[in-house]
Chains A and B, each alone.
Chain A
Amino acid sequence: MILVIAEQREGKLNRATWEAVAAAQQLAGGAPISVAVLGASTGGLGQELAAASVAAVLVAENAALEPYTPDAYAAAASTLIESVKPAYVLLPHTYQTRDFAPLLAARIRKPLVTDVTGINGTGADATFTRPMFQGKLAAQVKPQAGPPAIITVQIGAFRADAVQKGGAAAVKKVDLQIDPSAIRQKPEAPFREAKQAVDLGQAERIVSVGRGIKSQENIALAEKLATAMGAEIAASRPICDNGWLPMERQIGSSGQTVAPKLYVALGISGAIQHLVGMKGSRTIVAINKDAEAPIFEVADYGIVGDLFEIAPALITELEKS
């Protein structure tokens, strides 16, 4: 049995849930899969999930699960695991699971393999591929001391549209006891810092800068290139952390997700947090001095070299015509 724990917010499934179901179907190799959805009131989500070819959908409703807290979710998931006794527990790798999955693993003293991009083999013999060293290396990992092993699946690594549908899964209610006094975090309502003045999601072309730009003065060079290309300027996280460009121009898991016609990565090494925000772009150009930089793994065109020589040359070339 493989247990997938769905992620929902305000009655809407996170799309990454379907990617986790696809990963579970690959890992199961025919073994049964249960999908659980947690929340105060999950509405029609149980029925929605039952469209997948799985053995059962478990609906675990408890008032203590709303709003989300790591303490309530870890308590609920450990109770579920105790009753289902799965060989694996699969979750999408999101800000929410990054918060509660390690707590769950620590509490039940079971292994947690995070940010998984590939599954090799099925069942008990499976190994899991995950990035290490900022994506410079990919590790094959074998969980020890399961079952269950808890696995979080990287966004975009499995295809939501690859989920086998057409099951006749029964939707079952599960009773959960959660002691509200054991919930130590008291969350307030989520908010956005400032109105997103720039919607990079609408940009046709984006020139994005990373650490390779070296100093704030050099941002002007990237802006000039963006103008020459008819592109918006954007950046990876460290540039916005330094205040060299405003946070609203940040691409990646903590910023915006974009898929423009053209994405030019200027001095961006390509840490996974950045790649998830841009790898859907139609054409990707990487310019980097390090030939081994992970950004080249997703690039259509690559130039290895000094961006301070290449960007001016590009501007000259673009301004010719």
Chain B
Amino acid sequence: MKIAVCIKQVPTREWQPRLNDQKTWIREADISYEMNEPDAYALEEALRLRERHGGEVVVCSAGPARVQTVIREALARGADRAIHVEHDSLGAADAFVIAEALAAAMKDEAFDLVLTGLQSDDQGHGQTGVILAERLGIPSSTIIMDVRIEGSSMRVKRELEGGWFQWLAMPLPALLTIQSGINQLRYATLKGIMAAKKKEIKKASLPDGLQPSQQVVGLAVPTRSKQTQMITGSPADAAKELVRRLRDEARAL
């Protein structure tokens, strides 16, 4: 099986947002990055499918030169090779542009299965995978919690709301967006890190003329919907004050 996994590099969870002077985007200078968490689960699922069914896992990413770090990490965890659509503008690009860029670089590879995370922890559009499927001319299903390959087709378990699930049958090739928690992640071994250095990262260029589907005209720290009463002091004092207010003010204890 020839499996593609699309991964994105996003700011770490600990990152404190800082805005540019125009307040239309973040200040990228002082960010530390990591692999988008749902994409890490997609990668793990791809590696497990390869262990079961053979074949290769190809990591695909669209972004500036900095995304090589997460590509190398994916290779160290066990992916076989990578495709990198490299352009500075891709760091802030929307889902349409990323999907078109990936589709152009991936279409001649004829993958049997394409996996992505269900959404990114940065812009969070939740669209890239499905748009990519449409551009590749293959069916998609989203928010997947189990993948069973059965010859030239597969059965997948889709998560619904409120604890409900559903199995679907789909033909291959196809694209799935993977939900966090589908599996237990593995980490790179020293051997994997060494091996990754020799693996191929094929560069692809951004197709001309891609237009964004939406423009961010302003970015701000969200306004609070509630007047939060912040309780300060030492842990013991804060605990005492909180319990008092929960009893006397909120009558919640």
Contacts and interface: CB of A to CB of B under 8 A. Distances in A.
A298 B226 contact: yes
Given A98-B142, A102-B131, A105-B127, A137 B17 contact: yes
B91 interface: no
A103 B212 CA distance: 17
Looking at chain A's contact residues, the main secondary structure is mixed
Contacts of B19: 137
Interface string B221-253: 111111011111001101110110110001011
Given A95-B161, A285-B242, A303-B231, A137 B220 contact: yes
Interface in B107-129: 118, 121-127, 129
A203 to B, nearest CB: 12
Interface stretch (A20-28, A158-166, A256-264): A256-264
Interface in A266-321: 269, 282-286, 290, 292, 294, 296-306, 309-310, 312-314, 316-318
B149 interface: no
A301 B245 contact: yes
Nearest to A292: B16
B219 interface: yes
A33 B215 CA distance: 25
A12 interface: no
A177 B8 CA distance: 38
Interface stretch (A34-42, A46-54, A58-66, A112-120): A112-120
B217 interface: yes
A188 to B, nearest CB: 4
B200 interface: no
B214 A138 contact: no
A134 interface: yes
B222 A294 contact: yes
Interface in A130-159: 131-145
B131 A191 contact: no
B228 to A, nearest CB: 5
B192 interface: no
Interface string A103-128: 10111001111110000000000010
A60 to B, nearest CB: 22
B228 A296 contact: yes
A248 interface: yes
A269 B129 CA distance: 26
Contacts of A82: none
Contact of A253 (B121, B161, B171, B236): B161
A299 B226 contact: yes
Contacts of A309: 235
Interface size class of B (residues with CB under 8 A): 35 or more
A99 B167 contact: no
Interface in A220-260: 229-230, 237-238, 240-241, 247-248, 253-257
A139 B126 CA distance: 15
Given A103-B130, A141-B217, A237-B180, A131 B124 contact: yes
A203 B85 CA distance: 50
B141 A99 contact: yes
Given A186-B169, A255-B162, A301 B219 contact: no
Given A141-B215, A185-B141, A185-B170, A261 B252 contact: yes
Contacts of A292: 16-17, 221
Given A95-B160, A142-B215, A144-B215, A304 B130 contact: no
Given A133-B15, A254-B161, A312-B235, 5 more contacts: A102-B131, A127-B217, A139-B218, A283-B252, A284-B226
Interface of B: 11, 13-17, 19, 26, 95-96, 99, 118, 121-127, 129-131, 133-135, 139-143, 158-171, 174, 179-181, 211-226, 228-232, 235-236, 238-240, 242-243, 245-246, 250, 252-253
Closest CB pairs A-B (n = 6): A241-B181, A313-B239, A184-B139, A102-B130, A140-B218, A111-B213
